[in-house]
Amino acid sequence: MDNPGKVAKKTAPAFSRTTKSAQYDAGGKQVVCLHCGAAMFTEGAVSASAVGMVGLFHVLDMASTLVCTHCGYVQWFLKRPQRR
Ligand SMILES: [Zn+2]
């Protein structure tokens, strides 16, 4: 079982990814794939400094990614999406 109360920021490699797929909300709205419309994603995290994109992510060092399990399209979020 996951521990939903723990959203600790941790030092991560340049790109990390979970293997579990789930549905997510971002900005109070369910995330759907922009390419195929599917709603199941695997979540990942990218360290901006580790991939040389610090200027792009000037607010946070870490960005979250959601990878569509159906087509593989990657969506980026600077605020971590909430798992449903
Ligand atoms: Zn898709």
In terms of average pLDDT, the best of 13-22, 27-36, 56-65 is 27-36
- The reply to whether 36 falls in a domain is yes
Tell how far the Cα of 47 is from the centroid of ligand 1, in angstroms: 23
- The reply to whether 30 falls in a domain is yes
- The reply to whether 42 falls in a domain is yes
Q: What is the pLDDT of residue 46?
A: 77
* pLDDT tens digits, one per residue of 34-84: 999 999 999 988 776 665 655 655 555 678 899 999 999 999 998 899 999
Range of the domain at 22: 18-83
Helix (H, G, I), strand (E, B) or coil at 82: strand
Lookup: tokens for 11 = 């030092």
Number of domains the chain is built from: 1
Tell how far the Cα of 40 is from the centroid of ligand 1, in angstroms: 8
10 vs 56: CA distance, rounded Å: 20
Contacts of 6 (CB under 8 A, 6+ apart): none
Per-residue pLDDT, averaged over 17-21, amounts to: 75
Phi and psi at residue 75, in whole multiples of 5°? -115, 140
Tell how far the Cα of 68 is from the centroid of ligand 1, in angstroms: 5
Tell how far the Cα of 66 is from the centroid of ligand 1, in angstroms: 10
- The reply to whether 62 falls in a domain is yes
Tell how far the Cα of 35 is from the centroid of ligand 1, in angstroms: 5
Phi and psi at residue 41, in whole multiples of 5°? -135, 155
Look up the pTM and report it: 0.67
- The reply to whether 8 falls in a domain is no
